[in-house]
Amino acid sequence: MTMDLIIFLVALSILVLVHEIGHFVMAIKNGIKVEEFGLGLPPKIFSKKIGETVFSLNLLPIGGFCRMYGEEASFAEGDKKRILRQAQDRAFCDKKPWQKMLVVVGGVLMNLVFAVVVFAGVYTVLGLPEETEKVKIIDVVSGSPADKANLKEDFWIYKVAGKAISKPAELIEEVEKYKGGSVILIIMDEGKERLYNVEVRKDPPEGEGSMGVAISNTEMKKFPWWQFYKGIGVGFKEAYFWGEIIVGGVYKMISGLFMGQIPKDVSGPVGMYQATSAIKKEQGFLALIHFFGVVSVNLAIVNLLPFPALDGGRMIFVAYEMITKKRVNEKFEVVVNNVGMVILLGLLLLVTVGDIVRIVR
């Protein structure tokens, strides 16, 4: 359990670090002075000044920050005069809107790039998924008819009741004909045909299927190291795939809130830790790395939401400045962001309580 917690905290810290590096790099590239780059939230444990930036490690491992010169303090007139007098060209508040936008978007882009790298790395090690003309058992539910019939993972199903099948849909269609009875599956094992008599349930538990197996017609095929670009291509596709799912989930959650529905499938740090522990135990370390690639995509998309204190909220203020050629009232912006942060922390607390209640039950 201790090791699982360490892995979870390290992985979460890496995701936050990657995000803040995106802001940091864009700030430096646009000539903005970064006063402090921190991992975790205060109180401070350790800090060291390198060049003009203080790099700090903080006690609370739930976030990070990239504090730029003239980012928030500039709303006070005295501070603004000081900035204009000392280093106008180094202050975030006095940069052009498009430069501010690059800095704000930098964190999101880095999380997406990190996810692509993670997915590409995992598929480079495991191989690329390719469709075959065979149907493979990839999971057997404990206690299910398939388990009782001694079907195992990695078995290839060759025929159903004497009929050859090559796709999961064909297997499902044939098995459906035997609901309430049993069916003979012919498995190809080490070049030999083996027969298994499996019960086909009429009303199986939700998510298990009539026999209690998960099936696929894809196989992982490895490729030479010098064809690493194939892994990168699949990495982009995987990031896009999870991006679509997460966007759909976020839309469903937000629209549900407007209709008075309480989100049921939302997890906070406790739920993520639980998932981390389960994936590591049941699927292995590579699956765990893949999971945090998905979390990185999730972090990027959530940060794009137009909500105060998130990158998406800051982008709205910058977009307003681009369109109107006027800056948003700086006092108003700070107040809105502070209120947004309080709301976000409140939501995080509620989700965490929900996670704990679910685990206890």
Contacts of 333 (CB under 8 A, 6+ apart): 75, 317
348 close to 268: Cβ distance less than 8 angstroms: yes
Is residue 32 within 8 A of residue 9, CB to CB? The reply is no
Rounded CA-CA distance 1/22 in Å is 32
- Helices (DSSP H) in 64-191: which residue ranges? 77-87, 97-126, 145-148, 168-176
Contact predicate 124/233, CB 8 Å: no
Cα 83 off chain centre by: 39
Stretch (H or E) spanning 64 = strand 53-68
- C-alpha pair distances (Å), 27 with each of 22, 36, 231: 9, 12, 31
Q: How far apart are CA 74 and CA 309, in angstroms?
A: 17
What is the rounded radius of gyration, in angstroms, for the C-alpha atoms of the chain? Answer: 26
Give the separation between CA 244 and CA 322, rounded to whole angstroms: 29
Give how far Cα 16 sits from Cα of 19, 115, 190, 292, Å: 5, 13, 47, 12
Active-site residue numbers?
20
| 167: nearest Cα among 178, 181, 176, 156 | 156
Residues 6+ apart with CB under 8 A from 57: 38, 39, 40, 44, 45, 46, 47
**Distance (Å, rounded) from C-alpha 257 to C-alpha 261?**
5
CB neighbour list of residue 302: distance below 8 Å, 6 or more residues apart:
250, 310
Is the Cβ–Cβ distance between 187 and 154 less than 8 Å?
no
**Phi, then psi, of 229 in degrees rounded to 5:** -60, -25
